[in-house]
Amino acid sequence: MISIITVGFHSEKHMVTLKKCIREIREPVQLLFHDNTELNIGLSRAVNLLLRQVRGDLILFCNPDIIFDKSINIMIDSVRQFGRSETPTYVGHNVDRRFPTTTRILANHMLLCRLFSRFGLNPIERDYLNNDAKAGDWTEQPGGSCLLMKWNDVDDIRCTHPQQQFYDENLPVYWNDVDMALRANVLNIQFVKSSVQVSHEGGVSSRNMDLERRLMLFYSRAGLIGFATKWEFHPRLIKIAFFLDAIVAVMVRLIGWIRHGGDFQSAILKFRATLQ
């Protein structure tokens, strides 16, 4: 049996589409869904609670905005045959990354580095995003948007947490899948990119949050800084870097290099979030 775990804000369109996709799976399916519209307890806690109800020997973690077809059975057969966890090839919003380092985190999230990226001058960001990964490659940090795992691997990862949490609930929305991937790596649990393609709209749930709350969850102790502190990725250095980044953003904004709203405000809010 396949247990499918999906968490998000309720959308009739996405749920209808997801249930249609599920009918393409050849074997019995247990659908476990938490609607954060009714009770927003955070992604991590919702997933952990749903895991207590799992009856399948395979678990498909799947966002409501994921669309797949009958080729998903190829991925299911592969996981059963080779005993490894797999992530699909995303069409649209790719979420697979390499393992983070302090340098990779800064290169991906600082305004100045983003400006360099526009001109192809940020090789660290390109390396971190790992967009060149091909089917069959080992994916260091798979996104939780669509991830097929054996129950035994999920349970082993839970056991690495003092409270038996698959996703660390101190990271309620963001960076929880990165933390999970690092704990899996400690156990030598590998994730392989499958040739099976899924469509991923991306960022559907986060659109329900205003910019300040979204950045607070992403960069604060409930996100990046909490993750960096836990794994000793120099959180003080990151805070200093974002402070300097905010100053650069003000200067860039003043001299008119950026004409579209958001960059200046985002930089200030990012720095504020890291102080929480």
The pLDDT-based confidence of 26 (bands split at 50, 70, 90) is very high
Q: Are 193 and 136 in contact (CB under 8 A)?
A: yes
DSSP-based three-state secondary structure for 213? helix
Structural domains of the chain ordered from first start: 1-96+133-207 (3.90.550.10), 105-128+209-276 (no CATH)
How many other CB atoms are there within 10 angstroms of residue 198's CB atom?
23
Render pLDDT for 167-196 as a digit per residue (tens, 0 to 9). 999 999 999 999 999 999 999 999 999 999
Res. 112: pLDDT tops 70: yes
So what's the pLDDT on residue 276?
Answer: 74
* Least confident window among 34-38, 87-91, 226-230, 252-256: 252-256
Q: Are 68 and 21 in contact (CB under 8 A)?
A: yes
Q: Are 3 and 30 in contact (CB under 8 A)?
A: yes
The pLDDT-based confidence of 51 (bands split at 50, 70, 90) is very high
Render pLDDT for 87-109 as a digit per residue (tens, 0 to 9). 999 887 777 889 999 999 998 88
Render pLDDT for 148-173 as a digit per residue (tens, 0 to 9). 999 999 999 999 999 999 999 999 99
How many other CB atoms are there within 10 angstroms of residue 270's CB atom?
23
* Least confident window among 28-42, 193-207, 218-232: 193-207
